[in-house]
Chains A and B, each alone.
Chain A
Amino acid sequence: MHIPDGFINGATSAGFGVAAAGGLGAAIKQTGKYLSERQVPLAGLVAAFVFAAQMVNFPVSIGVSGHLLGGVLAAVLVGPWAAFVVLSVVLIVQGFVFADGGLSALGLNIINMGLIGAVGGYWIYRVLLRFLPKDARGVTLAAGIAAGIAVPLAAMGFLVQYMIGGTATVPLGTVFTALLGTHILIGIGEGVITALVVGAVVRNRPDLVYGAPDYAGERTEVLV
């Protein structure tokens, strides 16, 4: 999922870099509005867990693997804007400490995983929850399905970036088909892992789960 340097031209990467920096600033501001003091360590922990889980590539097809994106997982636990911050932190550590994900591509990756994967994924979660029971099972199911949809959607973010500033000449249509196919498979893994983790937390401490009806803290009003 991590875009390396070179796939997308410099101008496009820089544009997305500016957008991602602005987005991160706004996300930090929004997070500050609702995050309570006792939630600070837990939000940091969610970032650490997403980093750890992203190290574990699981096989999805012959010769292809995928790993957790963690956008919906983080958003349901700590809220969509804190999740944007979580994904940004994970990508910054991966890019600067582990040379994973290009530094010029950091903005591209933050928009795909933080904005589309986490904030967009959370919106899908909220829509799904309207049609499901407002209990631990409904939350778990909605989180799993939303996570499954968020992965191919985030991959489509790359497609748009490739359309704008891709350095290769491979036709958009063939990239689209290949990208969608593999990421639907990865999305299934994403959905299962997200449901397992969110399910475990919401069954024990629904008061800590931002996206759960029984959440005890404050929510931001900016997003649904």
Chain B
Amino acid sequence: MKDKRIFLIGLLVSIVVAVVVAQFASPNPDGLEFVAEEQGFAETATDHRLADSPLADYGENLTDNAWLNTAVAGFIGTLATLAVGYGLFWLARRSNRTASQAP
């Protein structure tokens, strides 16, 4: 398989996971949240500084349609992560090449 094909398949799988599979995610607290609640220190958490942003909690309050909220959040998040990751790795490679070319 060509690299380009692998990339496209991987991207498709990632989007399907974030948009479709994530719809079936367990709504229960994760390990740390559960322990914090059970042990009684969950209330020491303070509000997230960006709690009012449109995509906070994966778009929970974006529309009245929970399916759509998760789908939009998953799609945007996957592409945003790809873009930031691609950018950082591109920079990592570039900075190294510049350094090795220096006299």
Which residues of A approach B to under 8 Å, CB–CB?
A: 1-7, 28-29, 31-33, 35-53, 55-60, 63-67, 82, 85-86, 89-90, 92-100, 102-103, 155, 158, 166-168, 170, 174-175, 178-179, 182-183, 185-186, 204-205, 208
Q: Establish whether residues B29 and A3, one from each chain, have CB atoms under 8 Å apart when the complex forms.
A: no
Chain B 47-103 interface residues, beta-carbon cutoff 8 Å to A:
47-51, 53, 55-59, 70, 73-74, 76-97, 99
Q: Establish whether residues B48 and A102, one from each chain, have CB atoms under 8 Å apart when the complex forms.
A: yes
Residue from the set B6, B7, B28, B40 with the largest chain A CB neighbour count within 10 Å: B28
Chain A residues with CB below 8 A from B82, complex form: 44-45, 47-48
Residue from the set B34, B87, B99 with the largest chain A CB neighbour count within 10 Å: B34
Q: Establish whether residues B31 and A155, one from each chain, have CB atoms under 8 Å apart when the complex forms.
A: yes
CB distance from A162 to the nearest CB of B (A): 9
Q: Establish whether residues B56 and A47, one from each chain, have CB atoms under 8 Å apart when the complex forms.
A: no
A178 to B56, CA, bound (A): 28
CB distance from A29 to the nearest CB of B (A): 7
Residue from the set B22, B73, B81 with the largest chain A CB neighbour count within 10 Å: B81
Contact mask B7-20 → A, CB, 8 Å, 1/0?
10011011101100
A60 to B24, CA, bound (A): 14
Q: How many residues of B contact A (CB 8 A)?
A: 69
Chain A residues with CB below 8 A from B89, complex form: 31, 35, 39-40, 43-44, 82, 85
Partner of A99, one of B1, B3, B17, B56: B56
Minimum CB distance partner of B36 in chain A: A7
Which residues of B approach A to under 8 Å, CB–CB?
A: 1, 3, 6-7, 10-11, 13-15, 17-18, 21-22, 24-32, 34-36, 38-41, 44-51, 53, 55-59, 70, 73-74, 76-97, 99
Residue from the set B22, B28, B31, B82 with the largest chain A CB neighbour count within 10 Å: B31
Known contacts A1-B30, A66-B30, A98-B58; A51 and B88 CB within 8 A of each other: no
Chain B residues with CB below 8 A from A175, complex form: 35, 39, 41
A169 to B102, CA, bound (A): 54
Minimum CB distance partner of B48 in chain A: A99
Q: Establish whether residues B40 and A98, one from each chain, have CB atoms under 8 Å apart when the complex forms.
A: no
Partner of A64, one of B31, B55, B81: B31
Chain B residues with CB below 8 A from A50, complex form: 81
CB distance from A54 to the nearest CB of B (A): 9
Partner of A38, one of B3, B13, B21, B46: B3
Partner of B85, one of A43, A158, A170, A205: A43
A100 to B30, CA, bound (A): 12
A205 to B10, CA, bound (A): 13
